[in-house]
Structure 1
Amino acid sequence: MIERALVDPETANSGESPSGQKPSIAFLNGLADKGGLSVLGSLSVTVAWLAFLCIAVTPETIRTLEWEQTKGDAYGSLTSRVAQAATASREGQLRVGLISASSFRDSISDSRLLSDAIEDSWGQPVEFVNLTAGALTLWETATIADVIANQFEGLILIEVSPNKFCRDADELREITTNPRLGFRSSIVSQDRKLRQVDGPDIIGVYTIDNLAFLLSRRYKLLARVGTVGEPPSLVLKNQHSKLFSVEFMHRRVRALKRDYLRKYFDEVDSNISLLERAVSRLTETGKTRVLLVEAPFNPLAAQLLDTDPAYREVMLDYDLRISRLAERCGIAYWAPGVQADFACFDFTDDFHIGDFKARVKFTSQLARRIKDIQR
């Protein structure tokens, strides 16, 4: 029985200023309303701000920032955690990193269970690295992989789903114009050229390459430079933020079919290629193993979707492609499927587990799977 679906977690930070406008729009509107001296003053402030960015903001600075842990700035926090993960680990210590959207992240009850599983299997201390954010795309996954690959040693879990293979050039164009992550990647630049999406080339100067990201967060950046924070943990509590209902699930399934099913066969080749390049980048050093993982899926949604022949065709193709990718790259792939044994009311929607006991059960299943992976 097919258990996974085309999922779209949630949208993230839009990069607006406190006035609700995009930074560039607010700036231009301000210039239009001012006289010559005011314009000169505004330009001076802009030049001073850019000078500050070039001098004070580097990957090392980003690594020390403690961003607000709010839904509106999850990607600011993720950027700092990626910068931290791109540094060498302590001698003799391995790391297990999770690159995922909220659906897989929220299925884990306690990251220490995963770390313990690695320690038992490999006989070395393990540090858990949380590289998750809501609605994380394959382009952002590839960027994270590219940034951390040279320094990471251990195991990386990468969440995959049919939804991620439905993403198109319009979405790539949006995150190129309004980047949510404060890093650039040659893997994504190559994909952008293949999809004929215009965007700036990487020149190798952090501030200039990531100017749009920095400007969209300039208010928080000024307040946060010099502060250091601990990475957020993944010890979760019950989060029944929505009242689950069968009616809601029917609406959700209709939306999944409408928004994603029709895109899959047009976009899957490009997205599989992107994922393969990201995996190859992580494994090329020989220090990192990769496990492709899927989040558990609400069995009621699976049952509703499985009645659609077009959906079954998508899932058969997806299973074949992801299995072949894992085989080509020499990595492991795990989909919990029916053995996860969840009830529909364990979820708050089609893909987020809300019940803490269900999370503990899933985390134990994942830990057992990790123990099967030898270093």
Structure 2
Amino acid sequence: MTMWRHFVHGATRPSVAALWGTLGVLLFWAACAACFVRPSVLGGLDPGYFARTDTDDFGHLTGTLFGLHSRPAPPLSLTLVGASATRESVDDERRLASALSTEVGAEVEVVDLTAGALTLWEMIGALDVLPTGSRGVVVLGIGPRTMATGTDRLKELLEAPRLGLDGESLLDEIRRAGLTEPRRTGLWVYDHAQFFLSHVYCFARVFLGPAALLRHRYTGHRAATDVRQGALDERLRDTMQVYFENADENFARLERLISRVRVPGRLEVVLLLAPMNPSRSAGLYDERATSDFKVRLEGLSQKLGVELWALDGEAALGADDFFDSVHLRSADGQRRYTDRLIARLRAPLRSTSAEAFRR
């Protein structure tokens, strides 16, 4: 009781003793948070508790990563990684999981690690959390913009991280980029103080409940207006202007990522070309950059022995299926795309299942 009395007095009657009492209480709770608030403890919570709103991809993604960090690997899984173009192309992850389980003859857990404007570095950080012994397939949704982003973006992410977890692979990439890696002590609250302080709103979720993620932001909407589409296209062109400056380093990063994640016969990696509106692709990307991107991606696929899928044609996606340059708005288009993804995933998932491994 003395401690609490000093705390109240420190807030209402300034004095040396009361001040020390107040500081003692604050330090006590800070020490408790530093010691006991960590991913393995938070992993049991619904990911929605870490999301500000139903469109907070990175808060929700962080909660999902906490869950992966705190539990053993499922028997068989599909891990979907990519930016918003990949997120919007799958109609329903529950239908995807159910259909894959039926096709494979074993329960398949779908792990959604997609987020708007997810960078290659954040993909690396997210996949660092995959449980040891994972079986199944990791699908990497890759578009030209991902491979054009330079280290200036990594500097911004170090100053204002959007994810509350990282791993040795990401720290290695930070060092390779010639940047100073963040100090790590093993105390999550301290090591990720920037993320923790920017997500203090999570405490309100204790009373409000978890935020259900709104996966599809464009489904059923009318196509983007010319003004909005023009602004989006301009940003995309600006990014692609530096493609050739950054492509070598980014493809080397992608190669290292695949080599670290892939365990042949147990955990396979598939490269998935992000969807693109056929009516806007011409002139939107620098033709030389687009050609170079495809050639490099095909070469990397062959070098590492991983599959490269481009499903736009198989799903018969047309301009009417898109909201803008890369995001699907048609529920029917999403269904067709997901159906093709299911058909393609059948063989690699079967080959990595425990039953196939025993055979």
Pick aligned residue for 1:78 from 40, 56, 61: 61
- State which of 295, 315, 335 in structure 2 corresponds to 1:340: 315
Over the matched positions of the two proteins, sequence identity in percent amounts to: 27
How many residue pairs end up in the alignment? Answer: 332
Moved more, 190-199 or 115-124: 115-124
Aligned residues of 1:101 and 1:134 also touching (Cα < 8 A): yes
**1:267 Cα offset (Å):** 0.7
Using the size of structure 1 for normalisation, the TM-score is 0.77
1:88 aligns to what?
72
1:287 corresponds, among 257, 262, 266, to 266
Question: Is residue 150 from structure 1 mapped to residue 115 from structure 2 by the alignment?
Answer: no
Mapped partners of 2:79, 2:208: distance in 1: 24
Q: Which sections of structure 1, spanning at least 5 residues, go unmatched?
A: 1-34
Deviations 1:120-147 (A, max 9, x none): 4532111111222211111110011111
Q: Tell me the secondary structure at the aligned position of residue 281 of structure 2.
A: helix
Distance 1:364 1:284, change over 3 A: closer
Cα gap change, 1:224 to 1:129, in 2 (>3 Å): same
Displacement, 1:164?
Answer: 0.7
Return closer, same or farther for 1:214/1:255 CA change in 2, 3 Å cut-off: closer
Query: What secondary structure sits across from 1:106 in the alignment?
Result: helix
Contact 1:184–1:209 (CA under 8 A) maintained in structure 2: no
- Give the alignment of 1:1-375 within 5 angstroms: 47-48=27-28, 50-65=30-45, 66-68=49-51, 70=53, 73-86=56-69, 87-90=71-74, 93-220=75-202, 222-224=203-205, 239-241=219-221, 243-246=223-226, 248-257=228-237, 259-284=238-263, 287-305=266-284, 311-373=286-348, 374-375=351-352
Q: How far off its partner does 1:199 sit?
A: 3.4
Please report the RMSD computed on the Cα atoms of aligned residues, expressed in angstroms: 3.2
Q: CA deviation at 1:372?
A: 3.8
Question: Partners of 1:292 and 1:42 in 2: how far apart?
Answer: 55
Say whether the 8 Å CA contact 1:149–1:282 is kept in structure 2.
Answer: no
Q: Do the aligned partners of 2:73 and 2:134 also contact (CA within 8 Å) in 1?
A: yes
- Report the AA paired with residue 364 of structure 1: D
Letter in 2 for 1:265: F
Which of 131-140 and 50-59 deviates more? 50-59
**TM-score where L is the length of structure 2:** 0.81
CA–CA distance in 2 between the matches of 1:237 and 1:193?
Answer: 36
Deviation at 1:354, TM superposition (A): 0.9
Cα distance change on mapping 1:225 and 1:244 into 2, 3 Å = closer
Moved more, 78-87 or 360-369: 78-87
Q: Structure 1 47/166 Cα, relative in aligned 2: closer, same or farther at 3 Å?
A: farther
Q: Deviations over 1:219-241 (max 9, x none)?
A: 41x3457999698596x697244
Displacement after TM superposition at 1:264 (Å): 0.5
* CA deviation profile, 1:179-224 (whole Å, cap 9, x unmatched): 111112222222222222223233433333222211221241x345
Q: Which has the higher contact order (CA 8 A, sep 6+)?
A: 1
The secondary structure found in structure 2 opposite 1:290 is strand
SS across alignment from 2:282: helix
Which amino acid in structure 2 is aligned with residue 262 of structure 1? Q
Contact 2:314 2:340 in 1 (8 A): no
Distance 2:218 2:236 in 1: 26
Work out whether residues 72 and 131 of structure 2, in 8 Å CA contact, stay in contact via their aligned partners in 1.
Answer: no
- Distance in 2 (alpha carbons) for counterparts of 1:107 and 1:353: 6
Q: Given that residues 293 and 334 in structure 1 are in contact (C-alpha distance below 8 angstroms), is that contact kept between their aligned partners in structure 2?
A: yes
CA contact (8 A) 2:315 2:333 kept: no
